[in-house]
């Protein structure tokens, strides 16, 4: 009898412990797509990256994107070489870009309930070693235990020390480029 009650209380303690552990940790995504799009009257240029890693912390709303810069692919090889070179993004010195933000309205987003939610993100973007504040809007879609995040925003290249004063790049690359971010998370 004593043995049984001991067993029961042990079970009760274990159950209680589980009940107090947060139900979900950070969501991790390695299924991502980041796109740069530049439009000028001369030409449209785009570059795609499918190798970024992202995390979302559902309790705090912290969202992080880590972007391998050499993974951006352009249609033209020469453009890709220019993009990587020390005159532009200097990807050998700065192989990673990072977006570090917070979903400020996370309280209004129920990650356990299917639906589409508007998210306000505030934080910092680091490109080529330069960090600038950003404020953007995004969409969070919940479907089962899968969460998708999407956002489109603009960045001014000169803010990050990326400037072209002469030649083809100056006329063919927009001063402000559109960045599209898409990630799919599974709970770990």
Partner 1 sequence: MTPKKKKILKIGAILLIVGLLIGGGTVLYMFNMPHRNVQNASTDFSLTASQLVTEYLENPTKANEKYLADDGDSKVLEIKGTVAKISEDFNGQKVVLLQETTDKAGVSCTFTQETNKNASTVQVGETITIKGVIRLGASYDPDLEMYENVVIEKSDLVK
- List contacts with partner 1 (CB under 8 A): 26, 28, 30-33, 48, 50-51, 53-55, 64, 66, 68-71, 76-78, 80-81, 83-86, 91-92, 95-96, 98, 100, 182, 184
Alpha carbon 44 to chain centroid, angstroms: 24
- 47, HSE (Cβ side, Cα atoms, 13 Å): 24
For partner 1, give the closer residue by CB, 95 or 174.
95
For partner 1, give the closer residue by CB, 77 or 165.
77
Compute the distance between CA of residue 29 and CA of residue 55 in angstroms, rounded to an integer: 6
* Least distance to partner 1, CB of residue 90, Å: 8
- 2, HSE (Cβ side, Cα atoms, 13 Å): 0
CB neighbours of 13 closer than 8 A, spacing ≥ 6? none
For partner 1, give the closer residue by CB, 83 or 160.
83
For partner 1, give the closer residue by CB, 22 or 113.
22
* Least distance to partner 1, CB of residue 5, Å: 41
Helices (H), 45-152: 77-84
For partner 1, give the closer residue by CB, 79 or 109.
79
For partner 1, give the closer residue by CB, 30 or 59.
30
Compute the distance between CA of residue 67 and CA of residue 72 in angstroms, rounded to an integer: 9
Compute the distance between CA of residue 49 and CA of residue 30 in angstroms, rounded to an integer: 12
* Least distance to partner 1, CB of residue 111, Å: 18
Compute the distance between CA of residue 36 and CA of residue 120 in angstroms, rounded to an integer: 21
* Least distance to partner 1, CB of residue 124, Å: 10
Give the tokens for residue 130.
């330069």
* Least distance to partner 1, CB of residue 142, Å: 18
* Least distance to partner 1, CB of residue 44, Å: 16
CB neighbours of 61 closer than 8 A, spacing ≥ 6? 102, 103, 104, 105, 106, 109
């Amino acid at each position: 009898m004593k043995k049984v009650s001991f067993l029961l209380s042990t079970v009760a303690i274990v159950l209680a412990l589980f009940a107090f552990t947060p139900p979900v940790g950070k969501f991790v995504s390695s299924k991502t797509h980041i796109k740069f799009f530049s439009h000028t009257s001369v030409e449209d240029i785009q570059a795609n990256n499918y190798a970024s890693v992202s995390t979302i912390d559902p309790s705090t709303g912290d969202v992080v994107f880590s972007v391998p810069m050499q993974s951006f692919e352009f249609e033209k090889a020469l453009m890709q070489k220019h993009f990587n070179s020390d005159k532009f993004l200097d990807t050998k010195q700065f192989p990673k870009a990072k977006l570090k933000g917070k979903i400020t309205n996370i309280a209004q987003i129920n990650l356990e309930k299917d639906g589409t939610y508007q998210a306000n993100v505030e934080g910092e973007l680091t490109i080529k070693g330069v960090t600038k504040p950003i404020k953007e809007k995004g969409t969070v879609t919940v479907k089962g235990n899968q969460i998708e995040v999407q956002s489109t925003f603009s960045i001014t290249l000169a803010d990050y020390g990326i400037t072209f004063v002469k030649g083809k790049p100056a006329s063919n690359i927009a001063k402000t480029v559109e960045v599209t971010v898409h990630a799919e998370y599974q709970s770990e």
